[in-house]
Amino acid sequence: MNRVALVTGGTRGIGRAICEQLKADGFNVVANYAGNDAAAQQFSEETGIPVYKFDVGDHAATQAGCDQIAAEIGPIEVVVNNAGITRDGTLHKMSFDDWNDVMRINLGGCFNTSKACFPGMRERGWGRIVNIGSINGQAGQYGQVNYAAAKSGIHGFTKALAQEGARAGVTVNAIAPGYIDTDMVAAVPQGVLDKIIAGIPVGRLGQAEEIARGVSFLCSEDAGFVTGSTMSINGGQHMY
């Protein structure tokens, strides 16, 4: 039986590309989503990938959702924590809800999903967790103190959890995408986007499939000696 891989926020953008890549790799892929039932159903019909609706920022709902997937599909052996939102604004205009929602979903979602799946991975002696961070969690970004903090937290979370899983055959890594050609980036005003692209050495936005190929490697048997690592896929925009 193929290993079960759960991708949170998996029905569109980077998440969809990851789902399709992991399915091509032979994983039994399951996509989580939070809100748009019609879009999720269309995704499932187009890809043949089952979808499960729960809010990754809700601890109890995430545990229940992962338990349901394990019962109906099989034990979850790969987790890709991709779900995330933005609530941009400078600090003096940012509400507590703007801060809290981003932290709850982007960073809290990593904890909730990993908490639900990590113990079983350790018991079985094999697992892969890949957390989707961001270039803005590495370098910061004006108007994104919430998003940058949450994504930076993901990178620290990854390094700490990697140490807990290493001897049990569970690797934990992160990918920090740069600016990728998705709906989220398409919402950026064109003038701002032009300036962003001008600052990317390769001279273009990334493609979701390029992030998916990085995830593919980190989830493979070949990546068993890679853990606690952050793979930056950003066209050279931020190097360190």
Residues involved in catalysis: 147
Give 176's contacts (C-beta < 8 A, 6+ positions apart). 133, 134, 135, 137, 138, 151, 155, 230, 231, 232, 233, 234
**E strands, the chain, in order:** 4-7, 28-33, 51-53, 76-81, 127-132, 170-177, 230-233
Distances from the Cα of 74 to the Cαs of 28, 77, 79, 136, in angstroms? 9, 9, 13, 35
CA distance 186 to 184: 5
- β-pairing verdict for 28-33 and 127-132: unpaired
| Token pair belonging to 172 | 């934990």
- Burial pattern 180-210, b for ≥16 Cβ within 10 A else e, equals bebeebeeeeeeeeeeeeeebeeeebbebeb
Sheet of 4-7: strand order equals 51-53, 28-33, 4-7, 76-81, 127-132, 170-177, 230-233
